[in-house]
Amino acid sequence: MGRYRLLVEYDGAPYRGWQSQAGGRTVQDAIERALLKLEECGADGGVKRLICAGRTDAGVHALGQVAHVDLDKEWRIEVLRDALNAHLKLAEEAVAILDVERVTERFSARISAQRRHYLYRILNRRAPSALDRHRVWHVIKPLDVAAMHEAAQSILGKHDFTTFRAASCQAKSAIRTLEVLDVFAAGEEVHVVASARSFLHHQVRSMVGSLVKIGRGQWPVTEMRAALDAQDRARCGPVAPAEGLYFTKVEY
């Protein structure tokens, strides 16, 4: 048996998130079905379970998701990559395996991760996007990017992020260390880049929604830190839609 690390890209729009669930199309199910075809159910006759670096919600995209899987058969990495992609393409899945690496059993896509990176894309113009529908958050009113960036810097560091976590978040603690939260213009878009060892459920989207309130002039810059310090979910701005969020990279 060998352990393999997969680098995965996907369009989250057709899926109900990463994690396998009853009655829903998921990214995990798509890849596991492809693995099942390759391994012919394996020696134990069961589906090969994938462990990922970070489970994404319905509609969230990935440019650099990482997952690992234990397979009964030894594979040449390029053959495994190409075979998985062939099955995913045949099934018309919006998923691609960008790279495969053989790793030791000590490696865990989730536990071994040292830093996770996200990008949030906001299309800031009057007209919606014809080409990036379901891939950006369309905000019509001009945003004050400098004010958003200033506010973002005020919540960097180690804090209780209760204000910016989902009510359904199952993490035992809301303490997280936010290393990067940058806001900058990229043509007609505003990008928000976030980096930390780990994030709470809906943390990035909650922070982005609050930053947009500042960019629209609905909140002063100081409200971002005040909301954080309140440790009260009711002080959070609206949660930004899933379609603008991308899981971009994992560092090990």
Report the first-to-last Cα separation within the chain, whole angstroms: 23
Rounded Cα–Cα distance for residues 195 and 157 (Å):
11
Q: What is the per-residue burial (b if ≥16 Cβ within 10 Å, else e) of 32-55?
A: bebbeebbeebeeeeebebbbbbb
Amino acid present at 5: R
Rounded Cα–Cα distance for residues 252 and 150 (Å):
29
232 as an active site residue: the answer is no
Catalytic residue among 11, 29, 44, 57: 57
Rounded Cα–Cα distance for residues 147 and 143 (Å):
9
Give the distance, in angstroms, between the CA of residue 36 and the centroid of all CA atoms in the same chain.
Answer: 25
Give the distance, in angstroms, between the CA of residue 17 and the centroid of all CA atoms in the same chain.
Answer: 10
Q: To which residue do tokens 């919600």 refer?
A: 57
Cite the DSSP H helix spans in 19-144. Answer: 27-39, 77-90
The residues that are catalytic are 57
